[in-house]
Structure 1
């Protein structure tokens, strides 16, 4: 390949001396393994195995032949280097070289002077001076951050003045450093993750039932007899789980629960399974109806329930306030299911799922003719971002009544989005307990202190310096049009007129004292939130291999080291390094780290999370036995190791699945995560949603969220070729050609009623966006109508009448603008899925003749 033509169809062969690094895919939760080879331009290996770094004779077969999209040329210190980013054919997750359409193109997003699509990388710190972002040096930027923090917190007297919004999904080195800064050094409880406003679980019904949110091994998808996919779609979001573990290796019947008739719905029906096309926002009724039929038929596992489910009311109440409020004994749970609304015929009226389908799904799940129930339950954002407690609790209950957990082919798990890397030093507990300004009042408990909702703290003025790292809340949050208005108002006050640090401090002080806010944004690329940033800090793209070595885990808790192999922009810094500079400036004497490896060694030795699902407890002893540091030792564990990790004979050992029966657990004292080791049924009561006299809601929330006259539901999700906020994909031309604008899938009848055709530009308007304070707002966004002709809909329309579907984070066409600001007061997960609006035609879009509007749900029969 010629160095000046990186887009040729040829891929150079790495020479034997090429540097090799182990990586996992930067995108989804599956965590496929990759090998990265780096070598100087001008050198090339030969086709014989002994002439190249791959050790392969070429030509070769599938999985061993890298594509052009796996290659890029980067530049460091004036030298050009080839980089080959190829699937690891030996890695257990994607053995044989499987990869997703996203993972196979990771090389295309590497920072490179040849890559014009990515020339907007943030490369130097900036401060907004006189309304414009102006380049400054790092010392000035960190000092400006520190002075903003000191003003906002009144020199530490009021830590709540500082708020942080940090990714959950990154690496433990960076999240450890960021949370330490927030909770330990500053002492603020005001912390939110990238996808939710508070430090709370996404699956409260699972966690408070004593279940792990990542309990299975991927091989369980191949060994299951039935797989329940509720609000989850591995085909769209976890490609290799679907293609390798479900389709290729497995033979399970799929119960697919989703409002849309997607590819996976048709795949399920074409292969012995069933699609339950549930009406939007009625999942708890459907799941309870399935559970009721299982119990009515005597298909529930009474032996498992008697041994492993807590049946003493006093013991449940002693577990904690959440269990006291929502926990049920088995008898109380059966009484709940006896409510007439959960009878299949009655449930059918609300959910839209025929009673006979409810009964068929119950039989597939409970498997009454089998010796053991081998059902795997998978859930994700379709349930999580709705009635979060009710939906996740109902799935937990189904798992428990069938006893299908802890054995091969069973379990309950989130399907997942990103890989996980959240780690803390424990200071968050004291910060929240001592300083949170948010409480919960329920039917049984009152005045319980809960983690604060940081988005509301931004709106109400408690947060005066908002530090946003690696995410885009002006686009990612709920009711974002209203949020942007709030941020705009609170950042529009006094601004520095020069880069003199005293002038910067003067302006920040004046703004904050007048009710305003300072925003610091720490990012790779500019995004919506950047428009409001006062301080902009450029970070290294460590997910792409810039900087040092890092660690995180995938959807089966496989923990692995990601090895850095390139520098990235010289003016950018790794996030931990930025946090270190900030902490030291505020007086911390224990954040003077020299590398990411030093932080990992600290975590493994002093904060290993002993005893938990993600415990790293075995790493330090294994490293010591081999006369290595923990980071050095993990470099040798190329296949990763499943958490919780323990040590045996000087080597780390993994845990394939959580909740194994007694005698099969190596490191966990209790089978389920409660004081007794027994699980707890959850109260999943539709009255919490619809009963205006409940006291724990703001009235009939379901009615308030439901579409009114001339409105339809507007739900959202991902598309296989796109990823999250499209922070890489919006810069790739071949992706843009497929989806040059956001889409809105409409049923032909809904489109015809509004005189809309495929390719028209439409506006979605919700002038009644529910607000948790009763102060409803409005929001809108535009999209291209995606209407499939009835003649082309060979396997049905993807959306039913009264339902529209859109991509949830498309730049500048933001679905979250119409999504409600209602959050469950017990656990503030936003109802991102429950948008609504009026749809009106604006005219023909610019891309009407460029896009295909063929069905995307055709599955092989």
Structure 2
């Protein structure tokens, strides 16, 4: 075995589990990856994506700034100085109309990147038009936590996976999308631990296969299910009356609403057996420690906030929160979506879980940033899908996209493509080239990838990990925060962007979180390097960190009266239900090996072999009706577009429902973009689109003629 030369601790840059990795340098100068056994979130475990991540870091990289005057011209190489001058001159022209510019970022950015972007866009430029792909991922969880409990931030920790005796998984294929967490549950389940697993999902996923009870509900009936379980618990007297009386408000209105949810009615709406509904309620009733977990299946909905608050209602009804093994736990989709929210990375937020609409919050941030009062706009900026509408109307003149690939991930892709073609000036800051989005940009900026820059990320259990650089950037790539800071300096804000290191950036951000729920003020790069990952809140006066922390252990909540809120909801159903023209419901999701739009994983041979092509899951009954056999090509149509897939006939999907993986854009397969079909109707509270369900038609077809490009 080749001797080890150096070991650098870092974090996996894929999902929000936040698994610790060690980059090991060998005597020959190569790097290899392994799990970090000292990292408390993953204990040395790693999935195929983390194990192979280095294979994609050096491939197909953008190595220098590229520019073109119009989209019909080829790119030409320019210097960084020319790139900055091109951007700054255009931004100066928009000085009197700052809201005509917008930045769309990513949960893959480090917290330092996020923070400097907030300072530039919301502080110095004076517009709150900063949003990220977290709007498509976790914003419904943000909204629901805030409405029900008073603040964003999951109240649970991963230790609760080891302590719960009911794991209630809804809208999450945890086995494939968050495998290291699911392995923890599965191991307990297999070894005879007093643990029951309930899975709520229209598909029989790998997660559902491990469940004691699988509720194969119709898409869009989650609220009916939650209210139906609550109806039975209330009827049986299995509620936490003292907790409700002492620590909540709104119970009377909630109890009145539950009267409409008799078991037979709920079972019929959900498409499940009444006995299974009763069994789910009995499992909740008989469990002392209930942990619910969810992901995109609840978040990506036109009523995402209502779904999640309805699930939280169940926890409040039974006092299942703030104690070991209990609580409502949002599983984050991206590695630093949590850190981004802490840094203010949504269009209504400021650093430290502050709100742009709150006068005192704005004043605190303006003072910290050395800016005059009134510099920060009091109005929330454009949300992600609203940016597309602004491009259509011409009100957006400067569009800056960072570390994400919206020309695959946005809903209603044909509309997005047309809008981007109308953009007067689009900057795309990215590590890889080509990507689908690069085709729609005027200026490409080469950014450092994970492993080439230092900073922190926060995972789903609020644990902050220092990710240290261990490779030199290729070509002229620069860290994202340094790019933002240089633009700020050239715009005349030298004092605000005098940072020399990422550690200085983090120190300023951490100080701004002092006495906030997401308090980082006791943390620093040096402390994290010495003591390892830490959970927030971590105030400056803390001398040591407990092994794990939970929020709301005293059952006092950050609401005006200190009480959690029951928020009753009836379901409105799908925003686009099936009809005679489009009789099927299409749902989308991830596969184990891939992640998001294949920008990384599509360049890794082992993963490409695991998932060589997209597909569509069809129930045998639907396939027989349409004369479709396994492997046949089919065309899927919605009111917005069409796509082509080989059929996978399986009883794992419910009749009337279809499933397509979301990873394939135009670079990787021909006309297999699932988001050519989806719509952008969004949750009114969170602004998160209903990417999980749209109405489609299905028919047998010839395969698309053009072959996929080879990368």
Q: Same fold (TM over 0.5)?
A: yes
Distance 1:199 1:520, change over 3 A: farther
2:253 to 332, 336, 355: 332
1:291 correspondence with 2:278: no
The equivalences for 1:362-377 within 5 A come to: 362-367=281-286, 373-377=288-292
Give the total of aligned pairs: 663
User: 1:643 touches 1:655 (CA, 8 Å); kept in 2?
Assistant: no
CA distance in 2, matches of 1:826, 1:226: 30
CA distance in 1, matches of 2:545, 2:268: 53
Larger Rg: 1
Q: Where does residue 842 of structure 1 map in the other structure?
A: 701
1:618 to 522, 526, 550: 522
The equivalences for 1:50-199 within 5 A come to: 81-95=29-43, 97-111=44-58, 118=59, 120-129=60-69, 131-151=73-93, 153=94, 156-196=95-135
User: 2:165 touches 2:290 (CA, 8 Å); kept in 1?
Assistant: yes
Q: Where does residue 819 of structure 1 map in the other structure?
A: 678
Q: Where does residue 357 of structure 1 map in the other structure?
A: 276
Q: What secondary structure does 1:735 align onto?
A: helix
Q: What secondary structure does 1:741 align onto?
A: coil
Distance 1:722 1:427, change over 3 A: closer
Using the TM superposition, give the Cα deviation of residue 129 of structure 1 relative to its aligned residue in structure 2, in angstroms.
4.1
Which structure 2 residue ranges, 5 or more long, are not aligned? 360-377, 667-671
Q: Where does residue 507 of structure 2 map in the other structure?
A: 601
Using the TM superposition, give the Cα deviation of residue 195 of structure 1 relative to its aligned residue in structure 2, in angstroms.
3.9
1:676 correspondence with 2:561: yes
Distance 1:749 1:649, change over 3 A: closer
1:588 to 493, 498, 502: 493
1:532 correspondence with 2:448: no
1:635 to 503, 509, 529: 529
User: 1:165 touches 1:467 (CA, 8 Å); kept in 2?
Assistant: yes
Q: What secondary structure does 2:131 align onto?
A: strand
1:31 correspondence with 2:23: no
1:227 to 144, 157, 167: 167
The equivalences for 1:773-812 within 5 A come to: 778-788=640-650, 797-812=651-666
Using the TM superposition, give the Cα deviation of residue 462 of structure 1 relative to its aligned residue in structure 2, in angstroms.
2.1
Q: Deviations over 1:668-720 (max 9, x none)?
A: xxx2121222100113122xx26xxxxxxxxxx64x43343453111001111
CA distance in 1, matches of 2:595, 2:176: 10
Using the TM superposition, give the Cα deviation of residue 240 of structure 1 relative to its aligned residue in structure 2, in angstroms.
1.2
Using the TM superposition, give the Cα deviation of residue 103 of structure 1 relative to its aligned residue in structure 2, in angstroms.
1.4
User: 1:166 touches 1:178 (CA, 8 Å); kept in 2?
Assistant: no
Distance 1:755 1:846, change over 3 A: farther
CA distance in 1, matches of 2:683, 2:276: 30
Q: Where does residue 242 of structure 1 map in the other structure?
A: 182
CA distance in 1, matches of 2:548, 2:395: 43
Q: TM-score, normalised by structure 2?
A: 0.88
1:389 correspondence with 2:340: no
User: 1:199 touches 1:451 (CA, 8 Å); kept in 2?
Assistant: no
Q: Deviations over 1:630-688 (max 9, x none)?
A: 322221022x11111135674455651111126xxxxxxxx2121222100113122xx
Q: Where does residue 3 of structure 2 map in the other structure?
A: 14
Q: What secondary structure does 1:561 align onto?
A: strand
Q: Where does residue 620 of structure 2 map in the other structure?
A: 748
CA distance in 2, matches of 1:758, 1:27: 32
Q: What secondary structure does 1:157 align onto?
A: coil
Q: Deviations over 1:180-221 (max 9, x none)?
A: 111011111222211427995544223211165422121211
Q: Where does residue 206 of structure 2 map in the other structure?
A: 263
Q: What secondary structure does 2:283 align onto?
A: helix
1:550 correspondence with 2:455: yes
CA distance in 1, matches of 2:481, 2:183: 36
CA distance in 2, matches of 1:738, 1:424: 36
Q: What secondary structure does 1:580 align onto?
A: helix
User: 1:723 touches 1:729 (CA, 8 Å); kept in 2?
Assistant: yes
1:571 correspondence with 2:476: yes
Distance 1:649 1:587, change over 3 A: closer
CA distance in 2, matches of 1:527, 1:464: 22
User: 1:184 touches 1:427 (CA, 8 Å); kept in 2?
Assistant: no
Using the TM superposition, give the Cα deviation of residue 39 of structure 1 relative to its aligned residue in structure 2, in angstroms.
4.1
CA distance in 2, matches of 1:232, 1:473: 22
User: 1:255 touches 1:361 (CA, 8 Å); kept in 2?
Assistant: yes
Q: Where does residue 78 of structure 1 map in the other structure?
A: none
Q: Deviations over 1:41-77 (max 9, x none)?
A: 2xxxxxxxxxxxxxxxxxxxxxxxxxxxxxxxxxxxx
2:394 to 456, 461, 464: 461
Distance 1:432 1:836, change over 3 A: same
User: 2:514 touches 2:540 (CA, 8 Å); kept in 1?
Assistant: no
Q: What secondary structure does 2:580 align onto?
A: coil
Using the TM superposition, give the Cα deviation of residue 449 of structure 1 relative to its aligned residue in structure 2, in angstroms.
6.1
Q: What secondary structure does 1:22 align onto?
A: strand
Distance 1:89 1:730, change over 3 A: same
User: 1:221 touches 1:409 (CA, 8 Å); kept in 2?
Assistant: yes
User: 2:594 touches 2:663 (CA, 8 Å); kept in 1?
Assistant: no
Using the TM superposition, give the Cα deviation of residue 845 of structure 1 relative to its aligned residue in structure 2, in angstroms.
8.1
Distance 1:712 1:753, change over 3 A: same
Q: Where does residue 382 of structure 2 map in the other structure?
A: 452
Distance 1:570 1:594, change over 3 A: farther
Q: Where does residue 369 of structure 2 map in the other structure?
A: none
User: 1:288 touches 1:394 (CA, 8 Å); kept in 2?
Assistant: yes
User: 1:519 touches 1:532 (CA, 8 Å); kept in 2?
Assistant: yes
Q: TM-score, normalised by structure 1?
A: 0.73
User: 2:595 touches 2:663 (CA, 8 Å); kept in 1?
Assistant: no
Q: What secondary structure does 1:399 align onto?
A: helix
Q: Where does residue 720 of structure 1 map in the other structure?
A: 592
Distance 1:351 1:650, change over 3 A: closer
Using the TM superposition, give the Cα deviation of residue 825 of structure 1 relative to its aligned residue in structure 2, in angstroms.
2.7
User: 2:139 touches 2:299 (CA, 8 Å); kept in 1?
Assistant: no
